[in-house]
Amino acid sequence: MYQMNNPIIPGFYPDPSICRAGSDYYIATSSFTFFPGIPLWHSKDLCHWENIGYALDRHEQLRMNPKGLSAGTFAPTIRYHDGLFYVIVGNMSTGENIVVTATDPAGDWSEPHFVEGIGGDPDLFWDDEGTCWCAFSAFGGPHRGIVRQKLDTEKWELTGDPIFMWGGAAVDAPSPEAPHIYKIGDWYYLMIAEGGTEHMHAVTIARSKTLDGKFEGYVGNPILTHRHLKRISEIVNVGHADLVETQNGEWYMVALASRPYGGYHKNMGRETFIAPVIWEDGWPVVSPDTGKVEMTYPAPNLEQFPVVPVPAKDGFDSQKLANQWVTIGTPVNDPFYLSDSKLHIKTLADPIQTILPPRRMPMMEGATPEQMAEMRKKMMEERRGTIPYALSFVGRRQQHMSFEVEAEMHFEIKDENETAGIVLLQNNYNQIRLEIAKENGKQVARVIKYVQITPPNPRLLPSFSIEEVDGTFEMGKVEIDGTNFILQHIAVGQANSFYIGKNREHMIAVAENISGKFLGSETAGGFIGAFVGMFASGNGRDTGNEAAFDSFTYVGK
């Protein structure tokens, strides 16, 4: 019998929301500042998942720029109601709350409906009378926790006053978020995440006999967490979950979690995991045999439905990028194009490495809920003027602890500022890249490591040793002539080695065994995972040049 292997969606695919339509299952995940936005996944057996596209794949649907990679789209919810699919999500780059609809998740999604007044991590729920409710996390004020309001799906407006539902299981619970409302039997359930999305993450639940009644937390909360396990466990920071019932009456929970390796380093970010659920005394019991998420489970009582794996090599023969590829920001500035079976990336002015320090939100220790709410309001107002554009970067998520990358690139330098190559990127400020450049009139291949540590909130992740220091480091360099190159990146755990050559029989080591331990959110900050990809830049000037990539190969080990 086949089995269910975790993570069901490996790599940086966090905040999973799941729904079922007949015998088809769909998952939506966060994408932050990467475009297209909100990856969508389809399965028939809950074990094999295929990326069928994105909910936000047109420029007019999603405005973002690359100034902060942990902005953009946070925590979507996907729901199926009365023959129509809905995705609701907040865009932290602009402060907009977006709803799109479709009759087929693999088809075109609607123009965006913008809804004012929604807080964080919005959810959609229809009661027995057909009223649509939007639940979300309130940011301060008298309703710190989860609130709900009616949503008029004709005018796309919230109506009525916010109704407080629950503040979480813990006393003064940090970050009550990710709400989902369910009607199961005679009970209304509210399931949320709390504890923050690092090591203390948890899933908790409350219920009420009526939607307007008081929601009482389960005495067995949290119903899922790994915060009681040692920090360097196989699976950590489990939380932000959603429930689904199969057509055969089985229950499952999808949740985000991470797989650290080489120490407490979560380079792949938060991934999508699954666990079975049973019900006892009207409450869910998750992973009932062990109480924690396991790497494997018996498959559900569903017919096996394998999907075709993504090819390791992309020769860019299509007129459209394959679903695994993304840019940083909304590419209204056309930083790349496909032509003659090549991916052409332009040497626009913005560098792949941002030289300004990241904008860090103040912790505001001791601030009142009202002060926190006011801070967020001002921040969102500032972001309404966001001008969308994208970096000259095309990449895909790192999905394995060890992997090999190879790119075939044609690049003729015409300006001393220009660079192009391949990159292992966690954000604007933490990356390792192999690039072609000119120094003192000579063409070189060099490996650059750029580090800027952003320690997490100590309340959510206790202190631990950080091995890196901030700075830009040249890890290796060789002179090389010509314009056609093979670029290779071999990662064995946290050891990264980079090679270059004009053919595969004569590859030269540029730098070997570079530690990538700084590429997890616990040191780099933010909410994303690592990407591998291709880039070009004029590093301050739009030089009108480009790098052409004949192919890109990613092989997970």
Catalytic residues: 15, 177
Q: How far apart are CA 84 and CA 93, in angstroms?
A: 27
End-to-end Cα distance, the chain: 24
Contacts of 363 (CB under 8 A, 6+ apart): 457
Contacts of 319 (CB under 8 A, 6+ apart): 338
- Cα distances from 509 to residues 421, 445, 473, 501, in angstroms, run 15, 10, 17, 9
Q: How far apart are CA 107 and CA 101, in angstroms?
A: 10
Q: How far apart are CA 25 and CA 254, in angstroms?
A: 12
Contacts of 459 (CB under 8 A, 6+ apart): 174, 196
The answer to whether the beta carbons of residues 62 and 54 sit under 8 Å apart is: no
Tell me the residue ranges of DSSP E strands in 105-250.
113-114, 120-126, 132-138, 145-152, 157-166, 177-184, 187-194, 202-208, 216-217, 224-225, 236-245
Contacts of 342 (CB under 8 A, 6+ apart): 316, 410, 548, 549, 550
The secondary structure of 132-148 as a DSSP string is EEEEEEE-SGGG-EEEE
| Secondary structure of 68-107 in HEC code, one letter for each residue | CCCCCEEEEEEEEECCEEEEEEEECCCCEEEEEEECCCCC
- Give the helix ranges, DSSP H, for 325-456: 369-383
